[in-house]
Amino acid sequence: MKPKKKKAKDSKSPEWVPAAKKESGEFTTNVMPGVAGCHDGLKSGEMHETTTNKSIKKRQPLKTEDYVSGILARDRTTLARAITIIESNSVKHQKQAQTLLTELMPHTGNSIRIGITGVPGAGKSTLIEAFGLYLIEQGHSVAVLAIDPSSSITGGSILGDKTRMEKLANKPAGFIRPSPTSGALGGVARKTRETMLICEAAGFDIILVETVGVGQSEITVRSMVDFFLLLQIAGGGDELQGIKKGVMEIADAVLVNKADGDNKPKAEAAKQDYAMALHYMPQHTIGWQTKAFTCSAVTGEGIAELWQVIEKFKTITRDNRTFAARRRSQSREWMRAMVEEYLQSIFYKNEAILHALPQIENAVMAGKMPATTAAQKLVDIYEKKV
Ligand SMILES: Nc1nc2c(ncn2[C@@H]2O[C@H](COP(=O)(O)OP(=O)(O)OP(=O)(O)O)[C@@H](O)[C@H]2O)c(=O)[nH]1
Ligand SMILES: [Mg+2]
């Protein structure tokens, strides 16, 4: 027999109970008073950290001086938050980012900036992880940034890279920041350049910038690094992949990856082909002859040699002053590119231009007005000459 249910002390009967059960009070349903505090029995003041309003509150933005001191103290959280400010499109954040960069300028520049490009699947991320870990072992600190034109559309390789470079990401001397995801290449490039500067201020002495080899992004990365590495693979059907696109002409080294296992002889043969092709190409960096090498990002063979090549490059270009001269001209070109971008954006937002543009454009497209005349007309409208 079931034990009789005792009526709970503070319970009340429901509004209706069967008459027969009313007296005994053994009806199964009783109305209980609400739980004081939380469902887990804690008083309301003792709730878990994760459920308090405090934790879902927006993080307070830091003052510029706090960003500066945090970055100079090599605090990664502050660094990551500062990058978020740099990547933000809000006018307020952009202003703060510029003040921050100005403050940090004296602490930037003490690194070697290395660009790495190659067709999708060439092994860039795998190489960066192996190379980054090697460099950390040698006592360096390594920041990895990416300019990935495909990620803004698919978001795909961001996730991939984070898992592919897991070991490097977990090292205190390693820092990985995926490509900023919004905007045109110009905008992404600005953010990556500025991120590079604050990583330098945070003490990273080696900056690796990865880009997937799909055209314009390679030129963009070349324009922000000291050393440009083209990663190739053998047996991709098109042995001399870089030649057609002219990427080899802007490279400081060509590295044939995946030189391991059965693929080793093929990789060696590809290296010879590249060496031959490079022989006929003009020097890209004064005093430096671009050469071809092989490596395996998986076995690690050739990784130490790659660093030797880069160190040699650094010594030669520092001695002949190409290193500093290139950085100076890169800064000037960058500034000019920013001016162009800004002027273009205010031009096309101008009301008079917005008004006149469709008609003039149609006339050009219909072959009724020469493009040069049309451009001049638009500029005259902008300058209020007509
Ligand atoms: N055998 C061999 N496989 C490699 C080597 N390096 C990379 N791989 C493999 O090649 C594939 C692509 O490598 P990733 O490092 O993702 O190539 P990626 O160039 O970064 O590719 P995207 O970011 O998509 O452009 C992966 O499956 C790697 O494991 C290598 O040296 N040897
Ligand atoms: Mg990759």
Position 14 scores a pLDDT of 54
Position 165 scores a pLDDT of 81
The last residue of one of the domains, among 76, 107, 138, is: 107
Position 367 scores a pLDDT of 97
Ligand 1 binding pocket includes 151 (Cβ within 6 Å): no
Do 258 and 299 belong to one domain?
yes
Residue 8 lies in a domain: no
Residue 46 lies in a domain: no
Q: Which ligand is nearest to the CA of 231?
A: 1
Report the distance separating Cα 60 and Cα 40, nearest Å.
30
Ligand 1 binding pocket includes 179 (Cβ within 6 Å): no
Q: What is the CATH number of the domain that holds 67?
A: 1.20.5.170
Do 127 and 85 belong to one domain?
no
Task: Quote the ligand 1 centre to 123 CA distance (angstroms).
Answer: 3
Q: What is the CATH number of the domain that holds 196?
A: 3.40.50.300
Position 227 scores a pLDDT of 97
Residue 47 lies in a domain: no
Dihedral sign of CA atoms 160, 163, 167, 172 in order: positive
Enumerate residue ranges in the chain where pLDDT < 50: 1-10, 35-56, 152-159
The per-residue DSSP string of 126-169 comes to HHHHHHHHHHHHTT--EEEEEE-TTHHHH-HHHHHHHHHTHHHH
Position 89 scores a pLDDT of 85
C-alpha distances in angstroms, 230 versus 127, 233, 249?
A: 12, 10, 10
Do 276 and 378 belong to one domain?
no
Q: Which ligand is nearest to the CA of 154?
A: 1
Atom of ligand 1 nearest to the CA of 156: 24
Do 83 and 115 belong to one domain?
no
Report the distance separating Cα 210 and Cα 135, nearest Å.
16
Asked if residue 105 lies in contact with residue 198, where contact means CB atoms within 8 angstroms, the answer is: no
What would the two tokens of residue 283 be? 């020097």
Residue 266 lies in a domain: yes
Do 142 and 231 belong to one domain?
yes
Do 99 and 115 belong to one domain?
no
Residue 338 lies in a domain: yes
The last residue of one of the domains, among 107, 136, 171, is: 107
- State the total domains in the chain: 3
What would the two tokens of residue 23 be? 């007296």
- Which residue range(s) make up the domain with 205? 109-320
Residue 279 lies in a domain: yes
Atom of ligand 1 nearest to the CA of 231: 19
Percent of the chain whose pLDDT exceeds 90: 57
User: pLDDT tens-digit profile of 10-57?
Assistant: 455 555 555 555 555 555 555 555 544 444 444 444 434 444 444 445
Asked if residue 222 lies in contact with residue 245, where contact means CB atoms within 8 angstroms, the answer is: no
Dihedral sign of CA atoms 298, 278, 314, 82 in order: negative
Do 264 and 202 belong to one domain?
yes
Residue nearest to atom 1 of ligand 1 (CA): 258
Beta bridge partners of 212: 118
Cα 17 → chain centroid: 67
Position 13 scores a pLDDT of 55
Do 207 and 63 belong to one domain?
no
User: pLDDT tens-digit profile of 306-353?
Assistant: 999 999 999 999 999 999 999 999 999 999 988 998 899 899 999 999
Do 221 and 272 belong to one domain?
yes
Ligand 1 binding pocket includes 157 (Cβ within 6 Å): yes
Report the distance separating Cα 247 and Cα 278, nearest Å.
11
Asked if residue 133 lies in contact with residue 141, where contact means CB atoms within 8 angstroms, the answer is: no
Do 222 and 366 belong to one domain?
no
Do 191 and 280 belong to one domain?
yes
Residue nearest to atom 2 of ligand 1 (CA): 258
Atom of ligand 1 nearest to the CA of 299: 31
Atom of ligand 1 nearest to the CA of 128: 15
